[in-house]
Chains A and B, each alone.
Chain A
């Protein structure tokens, strides 16, 4: 079956959303973008079909965050076409321009301007072509829904489709300006998500739904613990099952079958012995270990003179904040399907970085970029956990040996075992207040966490911020007992938990309301507006804490998005169970492209933040990950939902910032501060489980 037939049969090649036939003809001519930078030629991003439909090609992927809709809005805005006219094609390395990866809330603030620039130039070229065709000066033309017409006589018109006639646009213009915010007619409006209809009908294709003819499903043998080496393997019982093939290729041992469940059954019959893991660590001993195993500290910021400031310090407050390993746990496990065709490899993969996977595949299999195509269908959640996509290499290697397409879909145990967890970390904060109740000294030392948001946004004269070890790698061998990596707003969640908890500790020490205390130390006007906005919406009345009300506040400036949040909790002292009743969150993220999309991201941040604050913790021992499924690893559930009110503060003066991460960073401190306000006890370790709360109450 060739690619075209396969496309027609399955209707799925990557993130085609109702991609029209008129644009499909251009596929085969496309040359893979091999240079790791955004191409300058707008043709790489946009194609106008003869019917006037606009194909928008981007190397980003859609994993739920809604960039498919927001990016389409940006393109439609600059082109003056309707949103419905834009067909998005995402994450296909043969068809889309290069991209570095879908993470870090980069889609809008970093890639958005690139796409807008391309669309603005495309429109300017099309208007120039129309001007020549109609014999009307460009200034006398208007464009609406892809129709260029005379300002004076609307009957004198030509459509984008007629101008381009299905060809590549050869003309280019320099220094075309994007639209000023004031002229936006689509950006900032509520629109339906472009992926909606497919997702509510079951028509949305994810990697595991792509099954080329002759595919075998592989179930791969995994060690019982990290660091456990394979000693011996006996595959004879598995091979006896009808339709089963066992492949042993280097470190890969896998059972293959035309049905995935039967491949799993065969895997169960493979007898293997492993050397025990040399790791003696557990979640009980990890913090002590991290402090010993961390690399030398790096200074991130220093200000004033800490020693000299001692004299002015009346109260010194020091605390150590702890954070455990947590899982990404996307609902869609890692999946990849690999197919070889005359030396060319195609891999469908659940990945946040198709171009990175392509380069990993070229190295792992000794291919050139031209001979590897990575296609990314819809991704069922990523949160930073699908950056590397090792399952893509597994599928490619197995398919090469098997001589047929191979699907690798991790089961939930593999997902928990092979995840690159958010690292456990220790953050020590030491701060001092002067006679007037102002913070004069602030020291923050993060171990294992990473650098993002380690620095304080408050106006403090004497500071030292240091960090040792990170989620990013570069850690000494054996520092973490398994892989760690980026987890939605990496490092920031742990650092802000410590910083914003400590602000409340200081406010209580100073006998000042925590909102007033923060405001008196803030300089950033946008942050002040955000905090005052949430205060008003929540109905906060200023009182020094703890008040017994169960009210909490926390705020953060996460990469120039301002977030201020308030929560109300009720804590059952007997059981230690925390019920979060409501969360109100104000966010200034500059220009908001798709308001409802932004609100969805905030809500997602709040819910996921409740998970790491109250429920989630990976338990492990001697290299073994003890949590293997959702029976012991608890995600937030419907019955635990607070009401969530999101306020997007309009700010047309700041370019659109990222929205996928900022709101999650405040959640740990927000809940800790609300619990403190309710009970008068301070929780220093996340998640704030009923056991830890009961323990804190006893102490």
Chain B
């Protein structure tokens, strides 16, 4: 049943009045109107819907709203500002590490979570961390280079 569920979203306290069994991706996109989070497969198999929950990269299409109550959720909209990009976003931009851009928010947040834990990953570590994020355009080699470069430059700030 719908009841208010509170959590921190991109640094601000929010409350969503919705059925707690609903998946976070749809609540973010449709109830809270943050459409930067994409839905690609609906079953946690492609990574396009990746968001951070307490700093961990999770698949928001398979994470219930109730499970994030009281937690800190970060979406792509919360990572950097249009005028001041986060270093990971900057690295993706510099390397042209995207084509259609649909997987990009999930890629960037997955990369961010990796760099939090492993500030200077090598290529193999980046590949391992992002292996569950699918990209159909084939921007992989650039994404690997971008994440490595972001790490070398000081990572997540």
- Residues facing B in A597-646 (CB within 8 A) are 597, 600, 603-608, 629-631, 635-639, 641, 643-644
A461 within 8 Å of B (CB atoms)? no
A211 within 8 Å of B (CB atoms)? yes
Q: Which residues of chain A are within 8 angstroms of B82 by Cβ–Cβ distance?
A: 197, 201, 203
Q: Which residues of chain B are within 8 angstroms of A203 by Cβ–Cβ distance?
A: 36, 82
A167 within 8 Å of B (CB atoms)? no
Contact of A63 among B37, B100, B138 (CB under 8 A): B100
Contact of A629 among B23, B45, B126, B138 (CB under 8 A): B45
A500 within 8 Å of B (CB atoms)? no
Whether B40 pairs with A412 at a CB distance below 8 angstroms is: yes
- Contact digits for B60-102, partner A, Cβ 8 Å, 1 yes 0 no: 0000000000000001110010100100010011001011111
A517 within 8 Å of B (CB atoms)? no
Whether A200 pairs with B104 at a CB distance below 8 angstroms is: yes
Q: Which residues of chain A are within 8 angstroms of B37 by Cβ–Cβ distance?
A: 202
Whether A381 pairs with B131 at a CB distance below 8 angstroms is: no
Contact of A200 among B35, B93, B126, B134 (CB under 8 A): B93
Name, among A192, A258, A333, the residue most crowded by chain B CB atoms within 10 Å (CB to CB): A333
How many angstroms from the CA of A209 to the CA of B39 in the assembled complex?
A: 10
A259 within 8 Å of B (CB atoms)? yes
How many angstroms from the CA of A639 to the CA of B127 in the assembled complex?
A: 5
Whether A600 pairs with B96 at a CB distance below 8 angstroms is: yes
Interface residues of A, CB < 8 Å — how many?
60
How many angstroms from the CA of A586 to the CA of B89 in the assembled complex?
A: 30
- Contact digits for B14-30, partner A, Cβ 8 Å, 1 yes 0 no: 00000000110010011
Whether B137 pairs with A629 at a CB distance below 8 angstroms is: no
Whether A641 pairs with B26 at a CB distance below 8 angstroms is: no
Whether B101 pairs with A378 at a CB distance below 8 angstroms is: yes
A443 within 8 Å of B (CB atoms)? no
Whether A331 pairs with B135 at a CB distance below 8 angstroms is: yes
A332 within 8 Å of B (CB atoms)? yes
Q: Which residues of chain B are within 8 angstroms of A262 by Cβ–Cβ distance?
A: 22
Q: Which residues of chain B are within 8 angstroms of A641 by Cβ–Cβ distance?
A: 127, 140-141, 144
Shortest B145–chain A CB gap in Å is 10
B152 within 8 Å of A (CB atoms)? no
Name, among B31, B92, B131, B134, the residue most crowded by chain A CB atoms within 10 Å (CB to CB): B134
Whether B138 pairs with A603 at a CB distance below 8 angstroms is: yes
Whether A631 pairs with B43 at a CB distance below 8 angstroms is: yes
Q: Which residues of chain B are within 8 angstroms of A200 by Cβ–Cβ distance?
A: 85, 89, 92-93, 98, 104, 108
Whether B138 pairs with A604 at a CB distance below 8 angstroms is: yes
Whether B102 pairs with A381 at a CB distance below 8 angstroms is: yes
Whether B101 pairs with A64 at a CB distance below 8 angstroms is: yes
Whether A206 pairs with B38 at a CB distance below 8 angstroms is: yes
Contact of B138 among A66, A332, A608 (CB under 8 A): A608
Q: Which residues of chain A are within 8 angstroms of B144 by Cβ–Cβ distance?
A: 638, 641
| Known pairs A332-B100, A639-B127; A383 contacts B136 (CB<8 A) | yes
Shortest B21–chain A CB gap in Å is 10
Whether B137 pairs with A606 at a CB distance below 8 angstroms is: no
- Contact digits for A231-260, partner B, Cβ 8 Å, 1 yes 0 no: 000000000000000000000000000111
Contact of B40 among A197, A202, A332, A600 (CB under 8 A): A332
Q: Which residues of chain A are within 8 angstroms of B96 by Cβ–Cβ distance?
A: 192-193, 196, 596-597, 600
Closest chain A residue to B41 by CB distance?
A412
Q: Which residues of chain A are within 8 angstroms of B99 by Cβ–Cβ distance?
A: 64-66, 381, 600, 604
Q: Can you name 30 A-B pairs with beta carbons within 8 Å?
A: A66-B99, A197-B82, A199-B98, A200-B89, A201-B80, A201-B85, A202-B34, A209-B35, A217-B30, A258-B30, A259-B26, A259-B31, A261-B30, A331-B40, A331-B46, A331-B135, A331-B136, A332-B38, A378-B101, A381-B99, A383-B136, A600-B99, A607-B140, A608-B138, A635-B134, A638-B126, A638-B143, A639-B128, A641-B140, A644-B141
Contacts beyond the supplied A635-B134, A637-B131: 13 A-B pairs with Cβ under 8 Å: A198-B101, A200-B92, A200-B104, A203-B82, A258-B30, A259-B30, A260-B30, A378-B100, A380-B38, A409-B39, A607-B140, A638-B133, A641-B141
Interface residues of B (CB under 8 A from A): 22-23, 26, 29-31, 33-43, 45-46, 48, 75-77, 80, 82, 85, 89, 92-93, 96, 98-105, 108, 126-128, 130-131, 133-144
